[in-house]
Amino acid sequence: MEAHKMQKNSHEKDHVHTEGDGHDHDHSHDNTDKTVFQMFLPAIISLVLLLLGVALDNYIPTEWFKGWVRIVWYGAAYIPVGIPVLKEAFESITKGDVFSEFFLMGIATVGAFAIGQYPEGVAVMLFYAVGEVFQTMAVSRARGNIKSLLDQRPDEVTVMENNQPKTIKAKEAKIGDTIQLKPGEKLALDGELISDSASFNTAALTGESKPDTKNKNEAVLAGMINMNGIALVKITTAYEDSKLSKILEMVQNATSQKAPTELFIRKFAKIYTPIVVILAILICLLPYFFVSDYQFRDWLYRALVFLVISCPCALVISIPLGYFGGIGAASRNGILFKGSNFLDSIAEIKNVVMDKTGTMTEGVFKVQEVSITSEFNKDEILQMVNTLESKSTHPVATAIHEYVGNINHSIPLEDMEEIAGHGLKATVNGKELLVGNFKLMDKFNINYDLNPAHIVYTIIAIAYDKKFAGYITIADSIKADAKETVDKLHKMNVKATMLSGDKSTVVKFVAEQLGIDNAFGDLLPEDKVNKVKEIKAKNQTVAFVGDGVNDAPVVALSDVGIAMGGLGSDATIETADVVIQDDKPSKIPMAINIGKQTKKIVWQNIILAFVVKGIVLILGAGGLATMWEAVFADVGVALLAILNAVRIQRMNF
């Protein structure tokens, strides 16, 4: 499952790895810091000289605009746009990549000059340069969402030392330090709130603009902005391990995971370009043996037209840009894809298998009923249960703690053990204490005189000194957008299945309320894995959505693993392919829709490029297309494809 694991990169990198922005020729757009005017300036100079030259050629006949003057004039028009491309072509050749798009453009335009077609040589390079500027602008726009994410992490923090504020580098802050956060300041590390309450803007992490009020001892995450009043936060996580650092790392690595279509186009371009060059040479030379009035100049012109048309830049630009736009659009909506390959995979999903607690329900439990047998002292049993549950991170433990109150640390807990899918076991005063589900009671041969199936709520069974001591019932509320999520999935012809370690009656009750197709409860982690294997055995694609540590194996097994990133455990977030930052299940159908729209745009671009190029190539080889048609087939198609790819960033999902 290595493909599902996040590649660990240095956290120090504050730039996005775009692998040359999708170009096959390491063509990085290092001019994104320039203004739009600076980017277009060489093209403007070239265009003015070209238009003046064409006017002097055709509309203002003059004696002096001939011979070497005309060559120098068009040469001057060519230089601003042509030299950077020829330089790139030379650099590509020195790196061993001879057949780059720059090489194709270079020989086509230099060849046009060689046969006296100066205006056309300039025009081809000019349009190509304009296309490159538009591409750079499109890429930097797509990158904008991601760069704004990378800017979310402050470099400095104000820590309290001897009740005095001191500004230090965020990386130097240690776990246990207290950060002072003024209104409008952004939190740099994960921690817990020491102040009684504070209001935070969480848009950087969740895409949600609504303020989130946190109370004392609640977790607050890096990237949150303090809205009003000074807040004090105790650091609980190292700088490089914060949720935000992990999110940034995912985004930085996202563009290195290529979609199959993208990888195919790269391989295709490497084979296609040399074939095109060979065909161009044959178009130029072969007719000599078959045509009676063979003119080398005419056939060279046709070969050069053929070269310009066949340049694959529309594909090598627009396809990565489409995927890049998809990743950017998703991140703007609080959905993080760890690679463009997962945009492709999620578009094909036919089954969404989901966990219940924390995914479709709030994961915030409240105690409904406490039933302790008369043989035991209710307060003593609850104090022991509260102390044992304090060692667990499960939401059930929080509910019990809220109900019982402060933990009695004087209770001597020994040999504490968590039994996966069952519950907790410990020794108290030399006697065995068991707290968990009824499978735990069965495992340790504890007799009880009730039928758990008759109780709808989640039941926490308790046994002490080998005897059944009673139970606590706990209920969880369904998330507001859970029903809407299932309805949207059904509209997309995607089946919804719920798998949970919770008792079957609870799982079935929740599933019925939401309209979920299949629901299974009382499952251990390995049972969830087996259920997903059953669906995959029918050759059906599966996305699994979960948030707990025990969901990591099944997230890794599924075609697309989706983690709830707000409440989710770090193990599940690292194993997942897609992370939903705000824990809203309605983002699941949104993620599928973004995948589908991205794939649609990518295939529109592939078909557009091949159809237009195919038609103009045939016309060019037959001498019916000039350099101007060639320019449209190359740069025109590339521009149309770029504009189409950029559409995804404007869509509302």
As annotated, the active-site residues are 355
Question: What angle, 0 to 180 degrees and rounded to 10, lies between the N-to-C axes of helices 36-58 and 118-150?
Answer: 170
CA separation for the pair 9, 249 (Å, rounded): 7
Which positions ≥6 away from 194 have C-beta within 8 Å? 178, 216, 232, 233, 234
Burial class, 59, CB count within 10 angstroms (exposed 0-12 / middle 13-18 / buried 19+)? exposed
| Contact criterion met (CB below 8 Å) for 146 and 333 | no
**Rounded to 5°, angle at Cα 649 from 647 and 651:** 75
Residue entry with tokens 């995912």: 250
Which positions ≥6 away from 646 have C-beta within 8 Å? 138, 141, 142, 321, 325
Structure tokens, 628: 């101007």
| Contact criterion met (CB below 8 Å) for 283 and 302 | yes
- Phi and psi dihedrals of 202, rounded to 5? -105, 15
Residue count (the chain): 653
Selection from 327, 341, 246 nearest residue 566 by Cα:
246
CA separation for the pair 152, 201 (Å, rounded): 12
Alpha helix locations (H) across 33-117?
Answer: 36-58, 67-94, 101-114
Three-class SS of 391-457: CCCCHHHHHHHHHHCCCCCCCCEEEEEEECCCEEEEEECCEEEEEECHHHHHHCCCCCCCCHHHCCC
CA separation for the pair 89, 107 (Å, rounded): 10
